[in-house]
Chain A
Amino acid sequence: MFRWDLDKTYLRSEFSTFTQLLKSAFEKAEDKRAVPGAPALLRALRRERGALGRICIVSGSPTQMRTVLEKRLQLDGVEYDEFVLKPNLENMLRGRFRAVREQVGYKLPALLRSRAQQPKEVEETLFGDDAEMDAFIYSLYGDVLAGRVGDRELDQVLSKVRAYPDARKATLAAAAVARVGHDVVRRILIHLDQRSPTARFAKYGPRVVPIYNYFQGALVLFADGTLSGGAVLGTALEMIASGEYTLDALANSLQDLLRRGRLALAEGARLAFEIERADIEMDARMAAALPPRSEIAAAFAARVRALALGALPPVLADGHARIDYQALLASDALKGH
């Protein structure tokens, strides 16, 4: 099961100024742009994971934007099973202005309610970004489901983020139903829209992987056994065809994951083997814009050769860090988590 945020995770959204916010609110579906590779990755997850490839979108965009956002996803050929948006107008009409900006008291109960509908054994991969608090919320969600964060700690966190009393109550109720008692959130991918330093996410443990782009996202999921080499190639090709990515940029992205210990060298070799045999569907325009596979392989191999392989860090093992959520909230630098 795959959960996606929209703004800055799937969509290229700019709303750091009021003008940009206004523009984003009134933009047509045709004018909105997905982050390169995100549509290809989502389609691949759906196609390759079959019944396990349930796609759930939980976004902080207001419910009034549903039609436009749905149309954008449709234009990108992305199918989904759930689409939850934030009732911002309702919040404002009820005078709950804090809730318009606050994310924990909105996203966490939304995720827990959705989870309660799923079988207990279903594993999840979550996609967010570094513009708000996705790494924090997703990690907390995973730890609540696993039983590492109990009601008392959860309530203290909700109190610290100044969630409204009814939102606190609803979150605790949803947690009680959704809690499964073991780890089901397998991976959290954080799109570095703001290019935040990757070290900032170390405190969340190896489950959270900051990624610069969806080629890296696809590589991590390939190493996890979630996606095929063909899906990685398909994502890369869509990114190159977008005109925003060069082969060099993708090769650098591969090297970055190796240097950070987020991808094992052996996975790179396995990927090369699979890519050689992958059958990718693409239109003639896309095919014409792409370099031959041998050139892609050569560029990637050059970046690997540039490294001292003996000096690469060991790949971070799966496992879950003990996260002090309250301490994190008390620190100044939570934005971008």
Chain B
Amino acid sequence: MLTIAVDAMGGDNAPLETVRGAALASLEARHLQIVLVGDQRRIEPILEETRHDAERLSVLHAGSFVTMDDKPAEALTQKPDCSVLVAARLVAEGGADALVSAGNTGAGVLAAARTWKRVPGVRRAALAAVYPTEQRHGDKQDPFSLLLDVGATLDADADDLVAFALMGAAYASRVSKNARPKVALLSNGSEAGKGPASVVEAHKLLTSHTGLNFIGNVEGIDIPRGTADVIVCSGFVGNVVLKMLEGVSETVMSLARYAYKEKMVWRLGLMMLSGGFQRIKEVTDWEQYGGAPFLGFDRLYIKAHGRSKQRAIANAIKVAGKAAAHGVVEEIAKGMREFEASRQGGGAKAG
């Protein structure tokens, strides 16, 4: 049975929603054990008020926690018993198979970096985000693609981008059951020579030294279309893209609300389309996807959205369970080994 450590104190709505999310997961994901890491004095009253399965849930007390506004490095130094660090240590020691946190992203990454090892060959970790797309992907017909890095490594060189591609492909193949995910580099044109030097060099490496289903470069417009299953970029670019996509989504909703108020005819039109809007909302609702995997470490870390409520936390726990069960880390390590061997041998493709 797999065990998932949950940073109970991390997130805008913690510990109430994180504990409720873990409680929900204890009832719905009966193949998982959940360890709530945090202040037991605050966790226990919430548990007692919430329907859960105590047989699948335990508490590991942590005396402090990192707030969303804390500076990560300072906070981890000043609070060695903070929940995210205690949870990361538990995973490092083998007491849990993955970590879920909705808390301060920097603190989570730093906690992982301080207690876990990187997969051999991976120099920098990447945060991957799932994004809803027009096309569906893999055997499970997932309606989203994977975009990485979205903020962990601001400036990535060619080797980093190749590692991100291998990591994203490993995640998509294991979690989305997409045996040969289509991998692309994000650039300003589809031609191989387009983009900054790091992207051009990464294109060459991905073509000649990996056996990935690499489809070349894609442009921003291809992200929502779902042209690729895995889209690779530096953290700086990925973060800008992600925030822009979120902004567009929010603006569309604002415009719909404006239209609803403005004219009776528009209101009627929106009401007639309400079923369709609901379906779109379901497909694009980030809470359904649980969390974003942090890839590149020898352990698994699922970063849930800071605003997560119980459903999103429960789904993040399930995603963590699935990633751990399907050997994502092992698949990444295999891909990196094969890439290094291919590059050193100067020939045979791997990945």
Which residues of A are at the interface with B, using a C-beta cutoff of 8 A?
195-199, 212-213, 245-246, 248-253, 255-256, 259-260, 303, 306-308, 311, 313
Contacts and interface: CB of A to CB of B under 8 A. Distances in A.
Contacts of B40: 259, 307-308, 311
Given A246-B1, A248-B1, A307-B40, A260 B55 contact: no
B141 interface: no
A195 B51 contact: yes
Interface string B1-16: 1010000000000000
A313 B49 CA distance: 16
B48 A198 contact: yes
A250 B3 CA distance: 15
A253 B1 contact: no
Nearest to B50: A197
B281 interface: no
Contacts of A308: 40-41, 61, 63
Nearest to B60: A306
Contact of A212 (B33, B53, B59): B53
Contacts of A253: 54-55
B44 A260 contact: yes
Nearest to A249: B55
Nearest to A201: B48
Nearest to A250: B55
Contacts of A196: 51
B55 A307 contact: no
Contacts of B59: 255, 259, 306-307
Contact of A256 (B33, B45, B50, B54): B54
A251 B33 CA distance: 11
18 contacts: A197-B52, A199-B48, A212-B54, A245-B55, A248-B33, A252-B56, A252-B58, A255-B58, A255-B59, A256-B58, A259-B40, A259-B59, A303-B58, A306-B58, A308-B40, A308-B61, A308-B63, A311-B61
A252 B49 contact: no
Given A259-B40, A311-B40, A252 B51 contact: no
A252 B60 contact: no
Nearest to B63: A308
A197 B54 CA distance: 10
What are the 5 closest A-B residue pairs judged by CB atoms, nearest first?
A256-B54, A249-B55, A308-B61, A199-B48, A306-B60
Given A197-B48, A259-B44, A306 B55 contact: no
B31 to A, nearest CB: 11
B57 interface: yes
Contacts of B55: 212-213, 245, 249-250, 252-253
Nearest to B62: A308
A212 B279 CA distance: 38
A213 B27 CA distance: 15
Given A197-B48, A259-B59, A308-B41, 19 more contacts: A197-B50, A197-B51, A212-B55, A248-B3, A249-B55, A251-B58, A252-B56, A255-B59, A256-B58, A259-B40, A259-B47, A306-B59, A307-B40, A307-B59, A307-B61, A308-B40, A311-B41, A311-B61, A313-B44
Nearest to A312: B40
Nearest to B86: A306
B49 A195 contact: no
B38 to A, nearest CB: 11
Contacts of A248: 1, 3, 33
Contacts of B50: 197
A62 B45 CA distance: 39
A260 B48 contact: yes
A196 to B, nearest CB: 7
B54 A306 contact: no
